[in-house]
């Protein structure tokens, strides 16, 4: 019964009534029995009853139960995989172009707002690091990461650093930080480097790594397009949810704050395969009217995010299939 209500509301954007359900789904029971069952589901918080209609609409709780059942059954729609592959393009394109095409194509096919986040190094393990003097007031930190990935970061210092101090600090950084992920380093570097050296010069240099840990051990790779790549928001304009100016304004606010949107997407609970957060499940209140469906893609040893943002009333089986297949395509192109 709940699935029938959700399917009807997703397809029509109109509250589902007992007679409509009886005609469409042949449930084998009378409209009166359907009404009683819907009343029970409403009491349990799965359905809501708009004041202007005799029908019912699903709540966020209903969508969550429906999505969990879909994922458990592995039930997703069949999607046009060939078209997705053609739209996303060749592997020899720059990653920004591939991600832009992926977000746009996924959004158009899903009729939602496509989103892509660039690869991050957060779960990549630091194997070793080295400090190289570039000039009197600048060092180059070379990070050797798992999977053969190397990253270089400039470190600004005050005045000339003695070679003995440089060697001592390099040894301490390797001893205390090697074997940790960049996420772990970023959140705990202060505690890990406390009371590790006695000389004033070494303490001063180590303090730079503590104070600037967020940038020196940044887990995100910069993209030319910014922290998040978006598809076309216009694909949502024709959906009934966005006929209200206030809701459309909230959507535009999201798209015009790319850093906070990227942070909100990354802050969601991580799951194997598809991650789906619905309505009030989001920590960011600006997303409480939306569902976000994402999957991780791999770029060598790195990982990024591809998915869509749309109203909670969406065709979940189709969207899940599209997001899942797009993540697989990106991994094949970038891995």
3-state secondary structure string across the chain: CHHHHHHHHHHHCCCECHHHHHHHHCCCCCHHHHHHHHHHHHHCCCEECCCCCCCEEECHHHHHHHHHHHHHHCCCCCCCHHHHHHHHCCCCCCHHHHHHHHHHHHHHHHCCEEEEEEEECCCCEEEEEEEEEEECCEEEEEEEEHHHCEEEEEEECCCCCCHHHHHHHHHHHHHHHCCCEHHHHHHHHHHHHCCCCCCHHHHHHHHHHHHCHHHHCCCECCCCCCCCEECCHHHHCCCHHHHCHHHHHHHHHHHCCHHHHHHHHHHCCCCCCEEEEEHHHCCCHHHCCEEEEEEEEEECCEEEEEEEEEECCCCHHHHHHHHHHHHHHHHHHHC
Residue range 233-265, pLDDT digits in tens: 888 878 888 877 777 788 888 888 888 888 888
Residues contacting 228, CB < 8 A, separation 6+? 115, 116, 117, 258, 259, 261, 262, 265
Pair (130, 41) in one structural domain: no
Residue 87 resides in a domain: yes
CATH number of the domain at 296, please. Answer: 3.30.450.40
Nearest alpha carbon to residue 276 among 42, 69, 123, 21: 69
Pair (114, 140) in one structural domain: no
**Residue 324's pLDDT is what?**
92
**Residue 222's pLDDT is what?**
59
Low-confidence ranges of the chain (pLDDT < 70): 52-53, 75-76, 90-92, 219-226, 301
Residue 139 resides in a domain: yes
Residues contacting 312, CB < 8 A, separation 6+? 60, 63, 278, 279, 289, 290, 291
Pair (112, 248) in one structural domain: yes
Phi/psi at 285 (5° precision) = -60, -20
**Residue 281's pLDDT is what?**
93
Pair (157, 248) in one structural domain: no
Pair (110, 253) in one structural domain: yes
**Residue 61's pLDDT is what?**
96
**Residue 225's pLDDT is what?**
60
Pair (270, 318) in one structural domain: yes
Range of the domain at 15: 2-58
Boundary-marking domain end, from 157, 183, 216: 216
Residue 256 resides in a domain: yes
Pair (252, 329) in one structural domain: yes
Residue 14 resides in a domain: yes
Pair (144, 44) in one structural domain: no
Residue 107 resides in a domain: yes
> How far apart (Å, rounded) are the C-alpha atoms in residues 35 and 41?
10
> How far apart (Å, rounded) are the C-alpha atoms in residues 289 and 237?
15
Q: What is the CA radius of gyration of the chain?
A: 25
Residue 65 resides in a domain: no
Residues contacting 65, CB < 8 A, separation 6+? 2, 46
**Residue 171's pLDDT is what?**
93
Pair (254, 309) in one structural domain: yes
Boundary-marking domain end, from 157, 184, 216: 216
**Residue 220's pLDDT is what?**
65
Residues contacting 165, CB < 8 A, separation 6+? 199, 201, 202, 205
Pair (116, 227) in one structural domain: yes
Pair (83, 140) in one structural domain: no
Residue range 178-226, pLDDT digits in tens: 999 888 888 888 888 887 777 888 888 888 888 888 778 876 665 656 6
Residue 199 resides in a domain: yes
Domain count, the chain: 3
Boundary-marking domain end, from 216, 251, 284: 216
- The model scores a pTM over 0.85: no
Nearest alpha carbon to residue 58 among 324, 314, 319: 314
Phi/psi at 147 (5° precision) = 80, 10
Residue 63 resides in a domain: no
Pair (163, 32) in one structural domain: no
CATH number of the domain at 160, please. Answer: 3.30.390.60
């Amino acid at each position: 019964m709940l699935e029938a209500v959700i399917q009807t509301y997703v397809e029509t954007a109109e509250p589902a009534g007992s007679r409509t359900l009886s005609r469409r789904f042949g449930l084998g029971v009378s409209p009166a029995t359907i009404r009683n069952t819907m009343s029970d589901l409403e009491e349990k918080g799965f359905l809501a009853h708009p004041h202007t209609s005799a029908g019912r609409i699903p709540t966020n709780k209903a969508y969550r139960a429906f999505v969990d059942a879909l994922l458990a059954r592995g039930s997703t729609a069949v999607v046009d995989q060939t078209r997705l592959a053609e739209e996303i393009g060749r592997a020899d394109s720059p990653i920004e172009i591939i991600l832009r095409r992926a977000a746009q194509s996924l959004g158009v096919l899903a009729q939602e707002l496509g989103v892509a986040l660039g690869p991050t190094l957060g779960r990549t393990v630091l194997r070793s690091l080295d400090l190289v003097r570039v000039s009197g007031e600048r060092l180059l930190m070379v990070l050797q990461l798992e999977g053969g990935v190397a990253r270089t970061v400039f470190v600004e210092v005050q005045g000339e650093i003695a070679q003995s101090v440089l060697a001592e600090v390099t040894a301490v950084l390797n001893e205390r930080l090697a074997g940790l992920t960049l996420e772990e380093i970023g959140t705990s570097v202060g505690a890990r480097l406390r009371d590790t050296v006695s000389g004033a010069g070494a303490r001063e240099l180590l303090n730079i790594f503590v104070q600037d840990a967020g940038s020196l051990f940044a887990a995100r790779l910069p993209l030319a397009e910014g922290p998040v790549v978006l598809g076309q928001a216009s694909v949502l304009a024709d959906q009934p949810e966005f006929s209200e100016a206030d809701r459309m304004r909230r959507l535009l606010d999201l798209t015009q704050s790319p850093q906070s949107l990227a942070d909100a997407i990354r802050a969601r609970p991580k799951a194997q395969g598809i991650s789906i957060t619905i309505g009030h499940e989001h920590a960011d209140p600006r997303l409480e009217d939306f569902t976000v469906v994402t999957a991780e893609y791999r770029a060598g040893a790195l990982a990024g995010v591809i998915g869509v943002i749309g109203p909670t009333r969406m065709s979940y089986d189709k969207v899940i299939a599209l997001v899942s297949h797009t993540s697989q395509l990106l991994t094949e192109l970038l891995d």
